[in-house]
Amino acid sequence: MEAYILEYLNFAIRWLHMIAGIAWIGASLYFVWLDSSLLPPKDKPSQDIGIGGEVWALHGGGFYRAQKFQVAPPELPTPLHWFKWEAYTTWLSGFSLLVLLYYVQADVYLIDKAVMDLTPAAAIGTGLFCLASTWIIYDLMCRSPLGRNEPLLAAIMFVLLAALAYGLTHLYSGRGAFIHFGAVIGTIMVANVFFVIIPGQKEMVKAKVAGRPVDPKYGLMGKQRSVHNTYFTLPVLFVMISNHFAGFTNHRHAWAILMAISLAGALIRLYSVLSHRGQKKPALLVGGYGILIGLFVALFPKPPEAGAATQKVSFAQVRGVIDAKCAGCHAAKPSFAGFAAPPKNVMLETVEQIRAQAPAIYQQTVVAKAMPIGNLTNITDAERALIAAWFTQGAKVE
């Protein structure tokens, strides 16, 4: 019953997280495009009331004219639409998933004793510390003179995130490390909205209501953080799907892979942003995709060692390993605590099921070493080698 409740909560919150994330990221991408596409107004009435830029668009069968004031309109309009709950809902649902999967089930998904033998309390406490401390460091840098030098700020932030990635992958399971890295970036993004962008907008509204001149610094600060958020977007989206790719999360250099893909995403996004402004920088696009292609080549699986093919292995030997180390989870009714259904609906109870899943068994247990999750069943290197030999010999089940 408990496993079923956890699984259903996982489904419901994950769906909410996806919907809210699409709304937040979609709005963010749109407004960055909008801000980059503005042109000075041609008509004098718009200029006289302080319009700094405008853009015409066609969508859904209608013409739209979006205008941006240099600072604020002469009079405060009503209604005034705010964009904040998409961000808050995304973070709250994402943090709920972090707690539900990685904190409540820390022994299964967060802790890998082969990496570091942490207690659940230590693992959770470290994760929460990373969420808070990284935001504080980033925010202090943005508010310091360093915040006025965007290239240097970006370089230092990349180094700090690389150090974080290295540390996380030497503390947690691969999945746990990647998801915490994404949670850190997501926390920075939503904290930018909560602590900088929205308070600045509120100050602008208060100034208009009180009849005071609006200080342009709030708009500049908000724009800076919005631009930072847009560069974080693609790395965060990668992390959200990374637990499906054990070849990344369980690699011995997982931290470098994580940073390489994050850099590729940032470069591709930077190319897109500059393109909106009419600045074509194909080197950025080539660099981003070049990193991804380079990873594909660098991570290409090596052929099995020659010795594996000469070690004669019977199916009975392999079946014994699978029954003891894999079938507890991969069964129609898993016997392992915390699993209401077999992961990815993969079952390894019958000869036919094992034969059909032979490539996946080899990939997940030998190449990626992603299974068993967190090595909960303590599969040994010798048992992995047994599976490797069986697979290279044709995965026979006679």
- Domain membership flag for residue 397: no
**Residue 325 in this model has a pLDDT that exceeds 80:** yes
Looking at 254, 276, 298, the residue that finishes a domain is: 298
Three-state DSSP at 52 gives strand
Note whether 311 and 329 are same-domain residues.
yes
Q: How many domains does the chain have?
A: 2
Regarding whether 340 and 271 lie in a shared domain, the answer is no
The model's pLDDT over 17-67, given as tens digits with 9 standing for 90+, comes to 999 999 999 999 999 999 999 999 999 999 999 999 999 999 988 999 999
Q: What is the pTM of this model?
A: 0.85
**212 and 340 housed in the same domain:** no
Assign residue 73 a region (left: φ > 0; alpha: ψ between -120 and 50; beta: otherwise). beta
pLDDT in tens, 69-80: 998 898 888 899
**Mean pLDDT across the chain:** 91
Q: Please give the pLDDT value at position 303.
A: 66
Q: Are residues 104 and 180 in the same domain?
A: yes
Rounded Cα distance between 11 and 17, Å, is 10
345, part of any domain: yes
Choosing from 298, 319, 344, the residue where a domain stops is 298
Q: Are 281 and 338 found together in one domain? A: no
Reported confidence tier of residue 360, pLDDT bands at 50, 70, 90: confident
Residues of the chain above pLDDT 70, percent: 96
Q: What is the pLDDT of residues 288-297, one digit of tens each?
A: 999 999 999 9
Q: Please give the residue range of the domain that contains residue 354.
A: 306-392
- CA distances to 1, 164, 198, 232, 240 from 178, rounded to whole Å, are 29, 10, 29, 14, 9
What is the reported pLDDT for 24? 96
Residue 187 in this model has a pLDDT that exceeds 80:
yes
Tell me: do 274 and 385 sit in the same domain: no
Q: Are residues 273 and 202 in the same domain?
A: yes
